[in-house]
Structure 1
Amino acid sequence: MNDQRSTIVRGFLWTTGIYASSIAVRFLTSVALSHLLAPAILGVIVIAQTVRIGAELLGDLGLEQSVIRSAHGDDPRFLNTAWTVQLLRGGVISLLCFALAPFFASLFGVSLAVMATIAAAPMLNALASTSVFSVARRLDIKGRNLFELIAETFGLLINITLALTMPTVWAPVLGLLLTVAVRSAISYCLPHPRHHLLLDKAFIREILGFGKWIALSSAALYATSYSDRFYLGGLVSLQLLGIYGLARAISDLPVSLSNRLGYLVIFPVVAADRETVGTASRAHLTPVRRQFLSLAAIGIATLMAWSDWVVSLFYDSRYQAAGWMLFLLLSSSWVAVLAAFNEAVILGRSKPQAVSIANLCRILFLILGLPVGFHLYGLPGTIIALTTAEIARYSVLLIIVKGLRLGFIRQDVAITVGLSALLAGWVLLRRFLELGSPLDFLP
């Protein structure tokens, strides 16, 4: 019992601590590229990334989750089957992206060469070793997070070097491909079986049996996480899209941390707690979860209240509008943080279909909300639609975890009230000191 709680605490501390360094790396990359490249170039990259990540998620077979949860997850034959499936998947996705490059280039008004080049990213990503999955399976939180930090640091150096030497759209495009390639290469520095092509029929059935629900969930995740950028890509200028992409990248940081904690700590712990049907893991998760969410609430409330100042401090006047965008986006991020932890618990109980249902619900709200929000209120209305959809997803997940007797509704409500109170206090202080409001530049 104490060992499990110690594992959870260590996992949260290592993930949060190293991710703080990861945030610094991402933030430095964002600031550097915003000063070295024009907003319109960043807009092109938002579109290219949206298409690339969409292709990756739409073809997601849940290979990592399969390795983590399977009783055969340490079997070299299982790992080599997963690696072979990963290679085949990456090749197919890259070919599809290349074939569809003319369509996306025409749809968004960007260079065909850029879209065709980005198509190589899924294949480069598929070359990675399964060692990355095995590290998560062993609950080696330190090793996994250090690996990701090293990869992101290489990415920072690559992107800044390219932006300095060629301040064109090709700097971030080539930077993306090289970063993915380097990450795949260094994955072989982690312990792994000798990889070779292998397709074991029994293991394929197991992977696809679990992976079909992950694929559906990932497709829904993409539709909900990137549909705003995909939708706006055809409606607003590349310059405005680049500014929005910058604000979105910052607001995604707490969500990314929560997802990482969920998949690297909560999911494996709950999955391993089969004997007590999650009772023991819930008892140990409760205090650690409360402490993390309390810190996250303080950080998000403070960043929301001073979002315009943060943007003005680190970015030039071209990105001023990112301040009010960031304020609105962070409200959606907070709900996503809460949802991420519930989703990890549900996956740990081997209920991926339930996660898919929650994400499909979010999609329905976005299908209705994005066009209505943009029509009524423009870009602010679009962001409000994102928050509404996140609330819908969270509500469905809440019902599911309650049925599993693993819910934390009281904790979530209490901390959300605290976040709202702190935000109100910061805004009132700004008013009292005549420092304006984070929404002063809202159109």
Structure 2
Amino acid sequence: MKRIRSKFGGLIPGRTSLGAKVLQAGGWSIIQVVGVNVLRLASNLILTRYLVPEAFGMMAMIGTLLTAFNLFTDIGLTQSIIRDRDGEEAHFLRVAWTIKLIRGFLIAGGVLLAALGLWVFAPSLAPPQTVYADPRLPILVALSALAPVMIGAESTTKELLTRRLQNWRFTVVEIGTQVISLIAMVIFVQFSPTVWALLAGMLLMSVIKMVASHLFYPGPWMQLAHDREIRDRLWHFGKFLMGSSSFSFIARQADKFILAALLNATAFGLYVIAQIWAFAGQAFVNQLATRVGFPAMSDIIRNRPEDLRRLFRKFQNALDVFCFGAFVVTFLLGDLLIRTLYEAEYHAAGTYLSILSLSFLVIRFRTLDNLLVNMGNSRSALVISVVRAISICVTIPLSYNMFGLEVTLLVVAMNAGITAPYTMILLRPTLGDKQFLYDCIWLVGSVLAAVLVYLSL
């Protein structure tokens, strides 16, 4: 019994040491990622029986547009609450929530303007047979403006729980909303087997998460508050992150905007299906990096900076095991998976998924990027995002026109690794030569894997 408690005690709420908190947060994060993605993939499998690939491509475009506005206006409120000395204070949280709420309405206004632009210009400028040419897109985009309002209204006690590494409530809410959304979409699709069912499910999920953040997450009750000193402090830290987030969006989402104009609607929908599966594994890395790694490293930097090198290496090594395993499994079995689970019209997505497996090898460098931000170097995040954005916007059109779609997907998968040398050099004094050498070996191995994948095409 003692052995069981020592091994799994971190999953039990109430432990106070940092190690126990990290184990608890990591355990619940794993449960959340597995649960949410199983439900998301199950939803995708069920809905593909009712909907054509074009519907998923159209929703991907809407999601990408919302992500764009979110990142273009992101001043790092979550990171500020996690790392700021006053991040536990009620007044600080309410000021941050007020800014967050205003930002939500601003994003909604931007989305409505984008819908108007699509309605006016798409009929004459959009390439035929593409997602942009669909006459339903403007009204779908306009209705999606409700989502950022709901997200902006979410309580900042959500960020407070992240700071405290208390992730079990996120798990309950995320899995619960996924279940409700799946049931709702299955019901909606019976009445309207179109993209409208997907949009209704997305909006319902946003409403549930907003309500849950106020009722289920412990902390101060939210109300409008203003404090110039706190506002200036948030802006001072977040101004570079806003630029970084803007270019991060381009780096991570430009593939959809560009490929939506290069591919026909069916091929783009198949690409989105492949990305859904690749994202399921990437979400695990992102969850651990943001919900566990970032707040844990923040605590260490504030209270025990002498332990940073050792504890970061342990966290990174554990993450690397998953990344390598995910690459091998997805590359070898991705095509078989798609062919087994989907109808024949979706089978081409299997080849796309095998190529996108390379993304698991370079996504591990995201924890290094996060560590730079955690140390207060938000300027470096801007540099990283700018380089990745320029790279993806240049290489996608070139690779598609010169080599075709499969090589383009290889470029998309590897793009996050282009700034790894810069990050590794900046962190070398902090993490030491041993970690630097290890990261170099990993990067070289990733490039060699990309060459082997290219030769196998």
Q: TM-score with structure 2 length normalisation?
A: 0.86
Give the whole-Å Cα distance in 2 for the aligned partners of 1:402 and 1:208. 28
Counterpart of 1:159? 185
Counterpart of 2:337? 310
Structure 1 pair 20–283 and aligned structure 2 pair: CA distance change class (3 A): same
Give the whole-Å Cα distance in 2 for the aligned partners of 1:256 and 1:82. 26
**Distance apart, 1:222 and its partner CA:** 0.7
Of residues 50, 53, 72, the one that matches 2:67 is 53
Give the whole-Å Cα distance in 1 for the aligned partners of 2:360 and 2:322. 14
For 1:395-434, what aligned pairs fall within 5 Å after superposition? 395-405=421-431, 408-412=435-439
1:64 correspondence with 2:78:
yes
| Aligned amino acid, residue 268 of structure 1 | P
Structure 1 pair 276–283 and aligned structure 2 pair: CA distance change class (3 A): farther
Gaps of 5+ in 1: 428-436
**Distance apart, 1:416 and its partner CA:** 7.3
**Distance apart, 1:248 and its partner CA:** 0.9
Contact 2:271 2:352 in 1 (8 A): yes
Give the whole-Å Cα distance in 2 for the aligned partners of 1:298 and 1:245. 23
**Distance apart, 1:438 and its partner CA:** 12
Contact 2:297 2:308 in 1 (8 A): yes
Give the whole-Å Cα distance in 2 for the aligned partners of 1:413 and 1:34. 42
Contact 2:91 2:225 in 1 (8 A): yes
- Secondary structure in structure 1 of the residue aligned to 2:224: coil
Counterpart of 2:129? none
Q: TM-score with structure 1 length normalisation?
A: 0.89
Contact 2:31 2:171 in 1 (8 A): no
**Distance apart, 1:276 and its partner CA:** 7.2
Q: Deviations over 1:360-379 (max 9, x none)?
A: 11112112201101111222
Give the whole-Å Cα distance in 2 for the aligned partners of 1:406 and 1:116. 50
Q: Deviations over 1:87-116 (max 9, x none)?
A: 111111101110221323514123221121
Counterpart of 2:223? 196
| Aligned amino acid, residue 109 of structure 1 | A
Counterpart of 1:109? 133
**Distance apart, 1:421 and its partner CA:** 11
- Secondary structure in structure 2 of the residue aligned to 1:35: coil
Give the whole-Å Cα distance in 1 for the aligned partners of 2:416 and 2:446. 17
Counterpart of 1:184? 210
Q: Deviations over 1:241-274 (max 9, x none)?
A: 1110111121122222212111111211222223
Give the whole-Å Cα distance in 1 for the aligned partners of 2:436 and 2:192. 51
**Distance apart, 1:204 and its partner CA:** 0.8
For 1:28-427, what aligned pairs fall within 5 Å after superposition? 28-105=42-119, 106=122, 107=126, 108-110=132-134, 111=136, 112-188=138-214, 189-274=216-301, 278-336=305-363, 338-405=364-431, 408-412=435-439
Aligned residues: 428
Give the whole-Å Cα distance in 2 for the aligned partners of 1:259 and 1:388. 16
**Distance apart, 1:395 and its partner CA:** 2.5
Contact 2:323 2:360 in 1 (8 A): no
Q: Deviations over 1:148-201 (max 9, x none)?
A: 333333332232322233211111111111111111111111113121111111
**Distance apart, 1:412 and its partner CA:** 4.3
Q: Deviations over 1:398-429 (max 9, x none)?
A: 222224336834444666788999999xx9xx
Between 279-288 and 365-374, report the one with greater CA deviation: 279-288
Give the whole-Å Cα distance in 2 for the aligned partners of 1:126 and 1:439. 46
**Distance apart, 1:80 and its partner CA:** 1.0
Gaps of 5+ in 2: 1-15, 127-131
Structure 1 pair 182–319 and aligned structure 2 pair: CA distance change class (3 A): same
Give the whole-Å Cα distance in 1 for the aligned partners of 2:440 and 2:23. 23
Give the whole-Å Cα distance in 1 for the aligned partners of 2:167 and 2:309. 19
Contact 2:75 2:241 in 1 (8 A): yes
Give the whole-Å Cα distance in 1 for the aligned partners of 2:438 and 2:281. 18
Between 210-219 and 105-114, report the one with greater CA deviation: 105-114
Q: Deviations over 1:116-163 (max 9, x none)?
A: 111222112111111111100111133333333333333322323222
**Distance apart, 1:52 and its partner CA:** 1.3
Structure 1 pair 200–331 and aligned structure 2 pair: CA distance change class (3 A): same
Contact 1:251 1:326 in 2 (8 A): yes
Contact 1:41 1:239 in 2 (8 A): no
Contact 1:84 1:197 in 2 (8 A): yes
Give the whole-Å Cα distance in 2 for the aligned partners of 1:173 and 1:32. 16
Q: Deviations over 1:292-341 (max 9, x none)?
A: 321331232112111110001111111111111111111023212x1221
- Secondary structure in structure 1 of the residue aligned to 2:301: coil
Give the whole-Å Cα distance in 2 for the aligned partners of 1:284 and 1:9. 13
| Aligned amino acid, residue 111 of structure 2 | C
Contact 2:281 2:326 in 1 (8 A): no
Give the whole-Å Cα distance in 2 for the aligned partners of 1:54 and 1:67. 22
- Secondary structure in structure 2 of the residue aligned to 1:226: helix
Counterpart of 1:18? 32
Contact 2:33 2:283 in 1 (8 A): no
Identity %: 21
Give the whole-Å Cα distance in 2 for the aligned partners of 1:191 and 1:371. 48
Contact 2:424 2:439 in 1 (8 A): no
Contact 1:358 1:393 in 2 (8 A): yes
Between 221-230 and 208-217, report the one with greater CA deviation: 208-217
